[in-house]
Amino acid sequence: MSAQFATFFVADLFFGVEVLRVQEVLRFQQMTRVPRAPDVIEGLINLRGQIVTAVDMRRRLGLPAREGDQTPMNMVVRTDEGAVSLLVDEIGDVLDVEETVYERPPDNLDPAARELIRGVYKLKDRLLLVLDAERTVDLAVGKVA
Amino acid sequence: MQDQEVIREFLVESYENLSRLDQEIVELEKHPKDTVLLGSIFRTFHTIKGTCGFLAFNTLERVTHQAETLLSQLRDGERELRPALVSLILETVDATRKVLASVEATGEEGSEQFGDLTARLRAAAQAKDQFEAAAPVAVEPPHGNGSAEASEKKPEEDAAKSSAVADSNIRVGVGLLDKLMDLVGELVLTRNQILQYNNDREDAALNATSQRLNLITSELQEGVMKTRMQPIGMVWNKLPRVVRDMAVALGKQIRLEMDGAETELDRTIIEAIKDPLVHLVRNSCDHGIETPEARVRAGKPAEGRLTLRAFHEGGQVNIEIGDDGKGIDVARVKQKAVDKGLVRQDQLDRLSDREILNLVFLPGFSTAETITNVSGRGVGMDVVKSHIEKIGGVVDLFSRPGEGATVKIKIPLTLAIIPGLVITSGNQRSKPRFGAGTGERFVIPQVSLVELIRLENQVANSQIERIHGTPVYRRRGSLLPIAYLNDILDLVPSRESTVVNIVVLQAEDRQFGLVVDGINDTQEIVVKPLGKQLKGIDVYAGATIMGDGRVALILDVLGVGQRSGVLSESREQARSSTEQKSQAGSEQQRLLLFRAGSFERLAVPLSLVARLEEFPQSAIEHAGGGQVVQYRQRILPLVSLRAVLEPGGSAGGELADPVQVIVFNDGDRSLGVMVDQILDVAEETVTIRQKTNRAGMLGSGVVGKQVADFLDLNYVIRAASADWFQANGSQPSAGKRILVAESSAFSRGLIRSGLDMEGYHVLEAANLEEVIRGLEQHAVDVVVTALDLPPDGSAAVLDAIRRRPEWRGIPVLALADSPEQVAEQVNHRAGQQVEFQDCQVKFDRGAMLESVARLASALDLAETHSDELVGAGDRS
């Protein structure tokens, strides 16, 4: 059994989501900020007439902010709540990975990240973290009081 | 009216069925054994027959009934289909068409009875075998017997005429209409974009084209909207039955009158108001209209009248549900509201009758004395209100005792595309690189807009005045509460400006002014929902796409008003949130943290501290049995905190050199407290408080994520110098009772300890309720209250005290958080009817004690010259 993942980078982490979940990938879009919104919400973008909420993955994972002029990329994923854009540092390739190298995430992972990572594929040169898109866009998950 | 609607539907449906019948019967001739076809034909006749029976079209019913009997025999295989039978059936179809045409034209079946056709159909059904013989005769008459009806000769022409309704109506799935509406919405947005693009250019051809596009889009939008419009009668149709059943069940006589059933509304709105309408009608029947006996006794006709009215007005639809029953008893509403704990008695006194009526919309309210199975479960009116408000509507209740009550509902025509006012506010603060840098655009639904006010020049900002910190604007003689969008949304104003733009908005039955940075223009916008992640933010109603393709947020006027506190309608909510705020505000303290002996973290409010000093050990001298130091040309008595808190405990060794000293001032005297180390100054919301019994401690709380003990300064001072306070005077008011009203336990403790020291009896109160209870149970000489006492501030305390004659003479000292607040109070005094006897800063202990002493002795004077009571208010 193998699965296909669209991959991306957030800080030094290498993530993947099921390729069928990905609606499209866009470079950085102009965004409308939403005052009083949760911190992880970067803003709203107009995706051909559809209003899509953008979630900053760095903040979602409790990572430090992007440096200086580095603009994030939009990875628009389909979820039960409609399309949501994940703001990531960089887009990677689409990878075919074997089930055999799959493992549950380690227990000592940072709680902010563990809630959102479904498992780990041990690739030859690096680890591919499988992002749980549904939980990622459900802001109630992994909320640290 | 409603009959016509039903008949119209019947006609449309029947014409459709008949044209299918023609095809099916012809098909049947080719495949006489096809039971599926037979079944379908049978059902069609059956349906028409059934509807005719319902609508009392007897002729048609008779004819179709016979055809149905014949067809059932064919279907059940009791006989075979012969051409003669087919003709007979086709003839029935023609006859049906003819009757339908007559119904369409005149509303009646027409005079023709089709007796001959019926007879032949009956004969055919009865005489299964002989039919073949009769057939020739049967087939002949329609053509040969032309004298009966001239028009019967031209069935084609007839059919063409009668199909006027069928041709002009098609059935369209609701899903398709919704999809069309979505597309039109997109088109409107694209049109807006093109128009904006065109505005920036000077291209005559583009200009002309975009103007045309503009017009066509508007027309298309209107057209598509109309396709979704349905008369409100669709919902009203089931009400006569509801009213009748209710009347029977309740033993009442009720006549239902409906006016304006043809008023059209968007179907999504029709859906949304269905349940609230039924509920309101039931309510009127149950609680409004009296029993016949009661009505006659009241001099009214035994039969009650329930009126439904609907009409368009100013782009909105008004619906009124009125009855001529007993109306709503204001006194009972009051009683219920208090009993159920929805409002307090003192709040009620401030409400107008109309506001009291609207209390029935509060959750958990039900005026019915007995809970009946028809209505009065106490879940009704608030649900009605929330349903109506969800679709942007407003509910209002009017009542005349003995004459009846009316509920008025105002709802928008449609929800999908609305006109809105585009405004800008704020600046991109945290993420300058993402934004345009000029400020955020927001859209305010036009429906909530009352007017725009622009204040210019230097006076602009001063025209917004403040009452107790709350901004208001004088609009044509009355005060308009003001809210700042930048504050509500936590935005930074885009620039310091001499212009103030006030958008006056209507939310529920109140108006308020929203100050925004800029006002752009009005636009047709398409409301799009926000993602689930943003649903919880009550200040937004949705989002839309602007002409430049960017997203703009649509403000929820109700949410904005509530968040800013200018709407007191949902009082409970508003109160609890201000309560929290004031609680938080008073607990927000600047604290000095230090260490002494085994106490690793001690805290005192920085406002009590005069200064922090360091003295070399060598400068400390001994005089009068204590330690002193020369300080600013005076002698400063010193006390070692370690010695005070842990008497006899020699532990810890010597104090550091130089010694760190906290200097406290009181009037012209000072005291230095020597501590081991001064740690920090923290501005902190004290989260957890715990009373301790330890001498010298007020309690403990969490400061900067660590526990700190709050030092009882009085204890320290008392321990250090027994004569500290005595010099202040001869305890002028010993034995007097002082009531201290302050929500924060910490601050209350501080105030109390000062008063305790002076020999007063101190009562504590955390809120207005406790103040009143305290006053009721004890004779109080002076009330000391914080300005921000929950729930409604110190003014409410004054109100409560001044209202009771026996309390009227009690002087009130208000405590403010800062000297600025004190000044504000003093400034406002001139215009106020009731006022405090004095106002002091909360932690200025000396001034506070002095004021209390003066007020307490003023009371003594007042008691002897009671007519000078009022004069006490002018003091200070």
Question: Does B587 score more than 50 pLDDT?
Answer: no
Distance CA B344, CA B372 (A): 27
What letter would DSSP give residue A3? Answer: E
CA distance B486 to chain A (A): 10
Contact state of A35 with B549 under an 8 Å Cβ cutoff: no
pLDDT of residue B552: 92
- b/e per residue, B558-576, with b = 16+ CB within 10 A? bbbbbbbbbbbbbbeebbe
| pLDDT, mean of residues B324-333 | 84
| Distances B339 to B335, B371, B375 between C-alpha atoms, Å | 6, 16, 20
A80 Cβ contact list (under 8 Å, min separation 6): A134
| B534 closest CB neighbour out of A30, A41, A49 | A41
Residue B559: in which H helix or E strand, if any? helix B557-564
Residues of B in contact with A53 (CB under 8 A): 530-531, 533-534
Section B464-481 average pLDDT = 83
State whether residue B549 sits within 8 Å of chain A by CB.
yes
Per-chain mean pLDDT for chain B: 75
Helices (H) and strands (E) in chain B, counts: 29, 35
Residue % of chain B over a pLDDT of 90: 3
Interval B691-724: pLDDT, tens: 566 677 777 777 766 778 888 777 777 776 655 5
Using pLDDT thresholds of 50, 70 and 90, give the confidence band for residue B827. Answer: low
Which of B614, B604, B707 lies closest to B655, judged by CA?
B614
Query: B165 falls in which pLDDT band (50, 70, 90)?
Result: low
- Would the pLDDT of B53 be above 90? no
Most A-contacting residue of B532, B535, B554 (CB-CB within 10 A), to test interface: B532
Contacts of residue A93, defined as CB under 8 A and 6 or more positions apart, other chains included, come to A7
B261: Cα separation from own chain's centroid: 29
- Count CB-CB contacts under 10 A for residue A13: 20
Is the predicted pLDDT of residue A77 greater than 60, yes or no?
Answer: yes
Contact B545 A51 (CB under 8 A): yes
Percent of chain A having pLDDT more than 90? 39
d(CA B866, CA B876): 19
- Among B233-237, B432-436, B518-522, the minimum mean pLDDT is found in B432-436
User: Between B655 and B443, where is the model more confident?
Assistant: B443
| Residue partners of B431: CB distance under 8 A and separation at least 6 | A33
pTM: predicted TM-score of the whole model, two decimal places:
0.46
Interface test with B, best of A26, A28, A29, A33 (most B CBs within 10 A): A33
Which sign does the torsion angle of CA B335, B339, B345, B347 carry? negative
End-to-end CA distance of chain A: 40
Question: Which two tokens mark B280?
Answer: 């309101």
Q: Which of A42, A46, A82 sits opposite B531 (nearest CB)?
A: A82
**Which pLDDT does position B452 carry in this prediction?**
92
pLDDT at B164: 57
At position B523, the amino acid (one-letter code) is Q
Q: What is the pLDDT of residue B153?
A: 40
**pLDDT band, very low/low/confident/very high, at B568 (cuts 50, 70, 90):** low
What's residue B541's pLDDT? 85
State the burial class of residue B604 (Cβ atoms within 10 Å of its Cβ: 0-12, 13-18, 19+). buried
Distance from CA of A98 to the nearest CA of B (A): 34
Do A127 and A12 contact (CB within 8 A), yes or no? no
Contact between A139 and B533 using a beta-carbon 8 Å cutoff: yes
Which residues on B lie below 8 Å from A49 (Cβ)?
Answer: 186, 189, 545
The mean pLDDT value for B87-96 works out to 83
Q: Is B553 on the interface with A (CB under 8 A)?
A: yes
Closest residue on chain A to B529 (Cα) = A51
Q: Which residues contact A123 (CB under 8 A, 6 or more apart)?
A: A95, A97, A101
Q: B510-541 in b/e burial notation, b at 16+ Cβ within 10 A?
A: ebbbbbbbbbeeebbbbbbebbbbbeebebbb
Three-state SS for B334?
helix
Q: What is the pLDDT of residue A18?
A: 92
Do A34 and B189 lie within an 8 Å CB cutoff? no
The vertex-B631 CA angle with B628 and B632, nearest 5°, equals 155
Range in B388-402, B469-483, B744-758, B800-814 with the lowest mean pLDDT: B744-758
Cβ <8 Å between A32 and B543:
yes
Give B617-657 pLDDT, tens digit per residue.
Answer: 888 887 766 788 887 777 888 888 888 777 765 544 566 77
Most confident of B81-85, B202-206, B376-380, B843-847: B202-206
pLDDT digits (tens, 9 = 90+) for A15-67: 999 999 999 999 888 889 898 888 899 999 988 778 899 999 998 888 888 88
Task: Supply the pLDDT for residue B828.
Answer: 62
CA distance A138 to chain B (A): 7
Nearest CA in chain A to B188: A49
In percent, the amount of chain B with pLDDT more than 70 equals 78
- Across the interface, whether the CB atoms of A51 and B530 are under 8 A apart is answered yes
Looking at the complex, does the CB of residue B530 fall below 8 Å from at least one CB of chain A? yes
H/E stretch holding B732: none
SS3 content of chain A, % helix, strand, coil (to 5): 15, 50, 40
Interface of B with A in 417-446 (CB under 8 A): 426, 428, 431, 433-436, 440
Q: Which residue from B minimizes the CA distance to A140?
A: B533
**B16 pLDDT band (50/70/90 cuts)?**
confident
The pLDDT of residue B96: 85
What pLDDT score does B869 carry? 37
Q: How confident is the model at residue B446 (pLDDT cuts 50, 70, 90)?
A: confident
Q: What is the DSSP string of B762-798?
A: EEEESSHHHHHHHHHHS--SEEEEETT-TTT-HHHHH
> Which residues lie closer than 8 Å to B41 by C-beta, 6 or more apart?
B21, B24, B25, B28, B71, B89
* Gap between the Cα atoms of B645 and A54, Å rounded: 57
Determine the residue among B551, B556, B564 to mutate to test chain A binding: the one whose Cβ has the most chain A Cβ atoms within 10 Å: B551
Nearest Cβ partner of A34 from B532, B550, B553? B553
Query: Which tokens sit at B760?
Result: 């007063």
Q: Both tokens of residue B14?
A: 């029947």
Q: Which residue has the higher pLDDT, B238 or A132?
A: A132
> Which residues share a beta bridge with A90?
A9
| A77 to chain B, closest Cα gap in Å | 13
With CA atoms as reference, the chain A residue closest to B536 would be A37
CA gap B94, B157 in Å, rounded: 11
CB pairs under 8 A between A and B: 76
pLDDT of residue B582: 36
Residue B265 CA neighbour count, 13 Å, CB half: 30
Q: Say which of A37, A43, A81 has its CB closest to residue B434.
A: A43
Query: What pLDDT digit, counting tens, does each position of B347-396 carry?
Result: 777 777 777 887 888 776 765 444 444 444 444 677 788 788 777 778 88
Residues 6+ apart with CB under 8 A from B480: B472, B473, B474, B502, B504, B511, B512, B513
Pick from B145-149, B579-583, B688-692, B708-712 the range whose average pLDDT is largest.
B708-712
Distant-in-sequence, close-in-space partners of B257: CB < 8 Å, separation ≥ 6: B305, B306, B307, B308
